[in-house]
Amino acid sequence: MTDRTAFVTGASRGIGLACAKALAAAGARVVLAARDASRLEEAAREIPGATWVELDLASPQSIKDAFAKAGKIDILVNNAAITKDGLALRMKKDDWDAVIATNLTGAFLAIQQVLPGMMKERWGRIVNISSVVGEAGNPGQSNYVASKAGLIGLTKSIAQEMASRNITANAVAPGFIETDMTAVLSDELKTAMLARVPLKRLGKPEDVAAAVRFLASEEAGYITGHVLDVNGGMYM
């Protein structure tokens, strides 16, 4: 990935930071993007040569500004996401709109920002981080599930539109991964989660990052429109 620049959203921690580290280790220049400047600064110190930009995916103007600062991008990893869980019957429209705006519309607008440069170069890699729940559903998360299922559909459409320009678009669908979000769960809930995973362990951010690194590589040049599950076998 020498001479390639990768832009990773939600890169200040967790899966996004692991993806940034993996791409940097493979030789890419990495631009970290997230909302929290202090966390971004700290994360960038862990990756030689990394730069960072503030990015709020709920704001179209923030997206334009961030990509204008970042310059030409060869690899885009759409990882940033939020949750506002609740049963569909009682879900507030604001909670629906916020999750769709960040997780799906924000990812789409980020893709729009990088496509002109990728088309000019006739090379590009787009990797969207979906979720196992985007394939299997999950009660109490209709907004999040819809956003992650939408990312899969978006991935397939972009793959078809951009294939003639040697731009690939793929998705990675993680299962239960050890992150800040799962760290706060009770032992009882973790045990129940693991009962659904044939490999009997939570995934690590590095497991997801390895899949992203592969899909962003030259070796994955004949793979597009694919959803790569990284879920320990919980959904097949």
Which residues are tagged catalytic?
144
Instruction: Report H helices in the chain.
Output: 14-25, 37-44, 60-70, 93-100, 106-121, 132-136, 142-162, 180-183, 187-194, 205-215
Neighbours of 71 (CB within 10 A): 12
Contact 2, 9 (CB under 8 A): no
Output phi, psi for 153, to 5 deg: -65, -40
Count the alpha carbons within 13 Å of 67 in the hemisphere toward its beta carbon: 24
Name the DSSP class of 200: -
CA–CA distance, 9 with 53 (Å, rounded to integer): 10
What is the amino acid identity at position 167?
A: I
Q: Which long-range contacts (CB under 8 A, 24 or more apart) does 206-211 make?
A: 206/18, 206/22, 207/174, 207/177, 208/15, 208/18, 208/19, 208/129, 208/172, 208/174, 208/177, 209/15, 209/18, 209/19, 209/21, 209/22, 210/22, 211/172
- Give ∠ CA 170-212-142 in degrees, rounded to 5: 60
